[in-house]
Structure 1
Amino acid sequence: MLLFFGFVMAGVVLQRLVELLIAMRNAHYIRSKGGYEVGASHYKYIVLLHFLFFLSLLFEVVGKGSAMVLPSWWAIPFSLFLIAQGLRYWCIRSLGKRWNTRIFILPGEAPIKRGPYRFIRHPNYLVVSLELLLLPLTFSAVATALAFSLLNAWLLLRIRIPMEEASIYDGHRES
């Protein structure tokens, strides 16, 4: 069980590191086209939330030690987590060089309306919300699932999405 947990965690951490490299490359491209970042002041809290999520998950799962057993229903949240990964890559592919973990504005460019963005405005935030709930539930880490789902919802709904909406649709500019 701990071997499976370690394998999954290593895969997710590696995935995040690759995504950060993609985001850095895309940020360079957007800036080269005259784009700019908004919301930089709150980005550190997003990074902190995700870092603490991984620590919490690690401590909650490993803290159970040898008593840890996958719940009989583990495949349900894990399967949904894997489906969410498919949605994540659909988002990345749909946004192309405009995908990022930060909020970048490219003046004169309309918001992307292809891929999952045809159906909902912020599908990548849906993916993150699902991950923060489903990955811990796969390993019976209920406290981590609840705490970080609530923190993420607060951060997205009170800060991130309003800032992105104002920046994209109202021409708001913050550096």
Structure 2
Amino acid sequence: MTLATLILALVTLQRLGELVLSRYNTGRLLARGATEIAPDHYPLVVATHAAWLIALWAWGRDQDVNLIVLSIFILLQILRLWVLATLGPRWTTRIIVLPDAPMVTAGPYRYLSHPNYAIVVAEIAVLPLALHLYLLASIFTILNALVLVIRIRAEARALAVVQRHYDDQ
């Protein structure tokens, strides 16, 4: 097994684990009265990330690994864990709004409105770069940016409604 294969296996397992956690958190939030906002674009998010992983497996599993760039990717995983820990049971891969819950402003949310998206943008570029897949990094950075335009607009609308509701109380 190459180092690249090991890295891709770990990233794939991580992403699958996050989907399980997201599904669990989504179910619990919906049971508490939360609603999903703008679900129509979610298959596009999943398809983009799945295609990214498939492309990495197809072209990256036997590549040499740039350890300096890999260390940046590992740092991004630490930041990802910070986001997950900050959101706790409110973290999902969907846009889920829980009525009467204040917006999260702790942890990385003190510094950025969308820290998870910033991390994902970096990950989508950095992991292919660690595997010397420069074209793949470019293609998926552009695809992800297009998906994020849709996603962030939908989330911003949802958060604005939540913030107005919370401010009115």
Q: Same fold (TM over 0.5)?
A: yes
How far 1:143 sits from its partner (Å)? 1.1
- Once the two structures are superposed, the pairs formed by residues 1-175 of structure 1 within 5 Å of their partners are 3-62=2-61, 68-70=63-65, 74-157=66-149, 159-170=150-161
- 1:63-115, CA deviations, whole angstroms, 9 ceiling, x for partnerless residues? xx6xx444xxx122211110100110100000011000111000111210001
- Matched to 1:59, the amino acid is A
Q: Distance in 2 between matches of 1:47 and 1:4?
A: 26
- Matched to 1:162, the amino acid is R
C-alpha change, 1:29 and 1:139, in structure 2 (3 Å) is: same
**Other-structure match for 2:165:** none
Q: Could you list the runs of 5+ residues in structure 2 that have no partner in the other structure?
A: 163-169
How far 1:56 sits from its partner (Å)? 1.5
Calculate percent identity across the aligned residue pairs. 34
TM-score by length of 2: 0.91
TM-align CA RMSD: 1.3
- 1:100-155, CA deviations, whole angstroms, 9 ceiling, x for partnerless residues? 01110001112100010011010000111111000000010111100001111111
The number of residue pairs the alignment matches comes to 162
Q: Distance in 2 between matches of 1:37 and 1:28?
A: 11
TM-score by length of 1: 0.88
How far 1:61 sits from its partner (Å)? 2.5
Secondary structure at the aligned position of 1:169 is classed as helix
Secondary structure at the aligned position of 1:23 is classed as helix
Is the 2:33–2:98 Cα contact (8 Å) retained in structure 1?
Answer: yes
Q: Distance in 2 between matches of 1:164 and 1:154?
A: 15
- Matched to 1:149, the amino acid is T
Q: Could you list the runs of 5+ residues in structure 1 that have no partner in the other structure?
A: none
Secondary structure at the aligned position of 1:97 is classed as helix
